Amino acid sequence: MMSYRVAVVAQRRYYTETATRYARMHSHEAVDDDNCLRILLPILRTLDVHSLLDVGSATGRGLPRLAQGLSNSLVCGIEPVEALVREGISSGVTQDLPLLLASGDALPFADRSFDAVCEFAVLHHVPDPARVVQEMLRVARNVVVISDANRFGQGSFPLRIIKLLLYKLKLWKAFDFVRTRGKGYQVSEGDGVFYSYSAFDNLHQIQQWAESVYLFPLDKAGIPGWFHPLLTSGSVLLIAIRKQRSPAA
């Protein structure tokens, strides 16, 4: 637990120090991924989404694209790093769309506040993705979107199989503990603190909330063929949908 707290502090320090360079360093990533939005936005329009929360918006650079794709809708972002929020607002990149200082593991909204709740490449930066996902499920009325890494679709094909077997045998955490020398996370110059994550890690949790779950491979140069995106794409778009229910549901 102590290493997790240290990691969170280190990650927020990293983003504070790189806030003014964030847009340049991370262009064409996450919500800027054209392939992701080409799939996602038509689906959200079909589902009649009129309010959307983006969890972990950084400087909010993706909010205008989401708002343009969902015309006449409320689009709001939250970000836990104050320097990124200040940079997004002062630079005008948010185009006056609301960007609030808040953390994904404690969203400051009532249950079912937004038609859709999304995250773009955030969960592989947090120590407890399930907690963030649970908050997203709580705040969403109809749609939850996960666009993130998939460890099982990264590396050579034999390595992908090995990682999946370790995960299925419940040995992955022990293996990851050893390979990260007890930290549970790694650090890179371009991305700060990051964890080994797969969108499939939270699939069962999301299926308990949703009536339908759709998975789309996002890699442009993944392994071709008829295999499931679990093994063929290093990043995955997950769209979970449930019909509108009564407040007691």
Closest CA to 199 of 191, 207, 188: 207
Q: Is residue 125 within 8 Å of residue 8, measured between CB atoms?
A: no
Domain ranges of the chain: 2-241
What is the pLDDT, as a whole number, of residue 222?
52
The first and second tokens of residue 180, run together, are 């990260």
Residues in the chain with pLDDT values less than 50: 1-2, 226, 246-249
Alpha carbon distance 179, 174 (integer Å): 9
What is the pLDDT, as a whole number, of residue 2?
43
50 burial level (CB within 10 Å; 0-12, 13-18, 19+): middle
Q: Phi and psi (nearest 5°) for 132?
A: -70, -45
Query: pLDDT tens digits for 185-201?
Result: 998 888 889 999 999 99
What is the pLDDT, as a whole number, of residue 10?
82
What is the pLDDT, as a whole number, of residue 112?
97
Angle at 68 between CA 34 and CA 246, to 5 degrees: 100
Radius of gyration of the chain (CA): 18
What is the pLDDT, as a whole number, of residue 248?
43
Q: Is residue 54 within 8 Å of residue 75, measured between CB atoms?
A: yes
Closest CA to 233 of 36, 31, 25, 26: 36
What is the architecture of the domain spanning 2-241? 3-Layer(aba) Sandwich (3.40)
